[in-house]
Structure 1
Amino acid sequence: MRTRDGLDLVLLAAIWGASFLFMRIAAPAFGPVALAFVRVAGAALMLLPLLAWRGELGTLQKHWRPLLLVGITNSALPFICFGYATLSITAGLASIFNAATPLTSALFAWAWLKEPMTRWRTAGLALGFFGVLGLAGNKAGVRGEGIDLPVLLAIVACLLGTLLYGFSASFTKRRLTGVSAMTLATGSQFAAAIALAPLAVVTWPAAMPGALPWGAAAASALLSSGLAYILYFRLIAHVGPTNAASVTFLIPVFAVVWGAWLLDEAITPAMVIGGAVIVAGTALVLGLLPRPKRA
């Protein structure tokens, strides 16, 4: 990985880590659906002129059907899920559950794309899901005297978001291989905006959000979707999908730090231990940990 690619990776992790902070700030004022619409619509408005400048607008029309499904499953619905989750759990905790995305991606790739499931990948999946279940049980109070239903529903929303991301990754590989990174980024955000527009009208908040929520929503659109997707698809082109997926390890670090620094969110031992187990399992799935050689 070149120095420039490494810097892109760290910058992407910092931006996507901050996206959970932006949601935590803006979701109470906008609501999950309206916030998701602002995010994807703002990103589309940023990316469409860039795609036009590259002369690739015609590609959107050619691939509009699969791009619509990618927009819904990789942006619209997951953004709603995580926006809903941040109403009840911290930005750092939501980002740790998001780190399970490569685990669900591996499951869909095995079941749908027939990618081999080696013993190490199987062990990584088991370890990662053990970490998810352990952290979820701790935070939702499953092991205590009563269940914290809002927190439990928030965790379920996060995990549903990771399932959607996992499906979208395999669908993109199956149906949109060869389509440029800029077209994928622009088309998915534009399609998500179109899909969410009617719901956003119905759920738009009665009271206009203030300057801080609007600022967080704008940052989420321009940075966490617009710029981030350019960086992400550029990384895939330069270093491959496995190395690009390693950004998953850094996102919770930045999200937890941003949340603790700017929102005074607590960092608990359960978050540290559960996050470490999830990341270790993910590293095994992606093949990023050294493995003993056979004699």
Structure 2
Amino acid sequence: MNKKTFSNPENKVLISWLLLSLLAIMWGSSFIIIKKSLDSFTAIQIATVRIMAAGIVFLPWIISARKQYPKEKTKHFLWSGLLGYFLPAFLFAFAGSKINSSLSGTLNSATPLFVLIVGAVFFQQIIKRWQVAGLFLGFVGSLILVLSSSKDGLSFNNPYALLIILASLMYGFNVNIVGKHLSGINPILLSGWTLITVAILSAIILFSTDFVSRINANTLNPLLLLILLGAINSGLAAIIFNYVLQISSPVFASSVTYLIPVVATLMGFIDGESISFLHYFGMTIILVGVYLINKK
């Protein structure tokens, strides 16, 4: 695409929506791969393999652009890597073994709310009325989707749910850090410089576990799926997410968490699950909410 394409506001909005939808598909499909991998590897191993694979993907670009590295941005890369990838991966890993995925998905949908609050309190971002309305609708729609998809309902009494809230708060800080301090950097290099440090930390943790002894003929396929998950659903997705941040806004980019339950619901339908009126109602509310969040 040429520069005129990106300078057109209408084209930017369309591209933002298309990329946001692609992100939702990528991240929404991650749960199936993780679920299948839990039979072969621990939650910690899954988290570290995913981050490590995502970091390795960017090595060619990092090496070739080593002279372009902005040293003054080092602390921002480190904070972004820790708050946007490393720490949340472990929080989700610990919480995932104690609470159901429906509750995790609902609580994770609070991310755009934290983006807005953190942006206003710490980054001098202006809160618009329709953004608040969009955030509220998006969360309500996500809650309707999850409630209508869960046979057992939701229970918020489990203290491990606080780990998901903490992870969502970290995402809120990360999105604002990238939006304010790292927005002018090439999305590929930005993703690579952000992920490489936490990928090294992940490798150290991974190989301190019994990971190597678990690799055999039976676990090879799950391992390959995890590597692909890290390379595509984390590595490539990081590029797309950082680019969406640059052409839209932090709140809009983070609203992808509202679309993930939509993807999960549709994938369930393809897999033979029924969809009720509440599912369609919840998805409609989510889309209206995301529209309001992106309204100029």
Once the 2 structures are TM-superposed, how far is the Cα of residue 272 of structure 1 from its aligned partner? 7.8
**2:190 counterpart of 1:184:** yes
* One-letter code aligned to 1:22: I
2:167 partner SS: helix
Partner of 2:173: 167
AA matched with 1:81: L
In the alignment, structure 1 residue 236 sits paired with structure 2 residue 224? no
CA distance in 1, matches of 2:35, 2:221: 11
Instruction: Quote how far apart the aligned CAs of 1:208 are.
Output: 0.8
Work out which of the residue numbers 93, 101, 106 in structure 2 matches 1:83.
Answer: 93
1:72–1:109 distance in 2 versus 1, CA, 3 Å? same
Structure 1 match to 2:112: 102
How far off is 1:246 after superposition?
4.9
Query: Is 1:216 matched up with 2:230?
Result: no
Number of positions where the alignment pairs a residue of Structure 1 with one of Structure 2: 278
Relative to 1, partners in 2 of residues 1:69 and 1:168: Cα closer, same or farther, differing over 3 Å? Answer: same
Q: Name the SS of the counterpart of 1:115 in structure 2.
A: coil
Residues 72 and 192 of structure 1 are in contact (CA less than 8 Å); yes or no, is this contact kept in structure 2?
yes
Q: What is the identity, as a one-letter code, of the residue corresponding to 2:114?
A: T
* Distance change (3 Å), C-alpha of 1:270 and 1:68: farther
Helix, strand or coil for the counterpart of 1:188? helix
TM-score (norm 2): 0.74
Q: Secondary structure at the match of 1:63?
A: helix
Aligned pair partner of 1:194 in 188, 191, 200 = 200
Question: Deviation digits for residues 25-47 of structure 1, max 9, x if unmatched?
Answer: 22453323222221111111111
Q: Which residue does 1:116 correspond to in 2?
A: 126
Give the C-alpha shift of residue 241 in structure 1: 4.7
- Over residues 226-245 of structure 1, what are the superposed CA-to-partner deviations in whole Å (9 max), with x where a residue is unaligned? 11122222333445555544
Partners of 1:51 and 1:57 within 8 A in 2: no
Could you say which residue in structure 2 is the equivalent of 1:71? 81
Q: Unmatched 5+ residue regions in structure 1?
A: 291-295
Q: Distance in 1 between matches of 2:282 and 2:21?
A: 22
The match for 1:158 is 164
Query: Are 1:100 and 1:278, in contact at CA under 8 Å, matched by a contact in 2?
Result: no
Q: 1:88 to 1:253 in 2, by over 3 A?
A: farther
Give the secondary-structure state (helix, strand or coil) at the position aligned to 2:54: helix
Residue 58 of structure 2 aligns to a residue whose secondary structure is helix
Deviation at 1:249, TM superposition (A): 3.8
Matched-pair contact (CA < 8 Å) for 1:15–1:224:
yes
Report the equivalent of 1:293: none
Summarize the Cα distance change of 1:234–1:168 in structure 2 as closer, same or farther, 3 Å threshold: closer
| 1:50-86 residue CA offsets vs partner (Å, 9 max, x unmatched) | 3444x35541655322211111110011122223344
Amino acid at match of 1:77: L
Q: Answer yes or no: is the 8 Å Cα contact 1:24–1:91 preserved in 2.
A: no
Task: In structure 2, list runs of 5 or more residues that go unmatched.
Answer: 1-9
What is the RMSD of the two structures over their aligned residues, measured on CA atoms?
Answer: 3.8
Is residue 141 from structure 1 mapped to residue 155 from structure 2 by the alignment?
A: yes
- TM-score, length of structure 1 as denominator length: 0.74
From the superposition, tell whether residues 207 and 51 of structure 1 become closer, same or farther in structure 2 (CA, over 3 Å): closer
* Structure 1 residues 244-255: aligned runs within 5 Å: 244-255=253-264
Question: One-letter code of the match for 1:183?
Answer: L
In structure 2, do the counterparts of structure 1 residues 25 and 84 end up closer, same or farther at CA, with 3 Å as the change threshold?
A: farther
Q: Alpha carbons of 1:260 and 1:161: their partners in 2 closer, same or farther (altered >3 Å)?
A: farther
Residue 59 in structure 1 maps to residue 73 in structure 2: no
How far apart are 1:115 and its partner, in Å?
Answer: 1.9
AA aligned to 2:25 is A
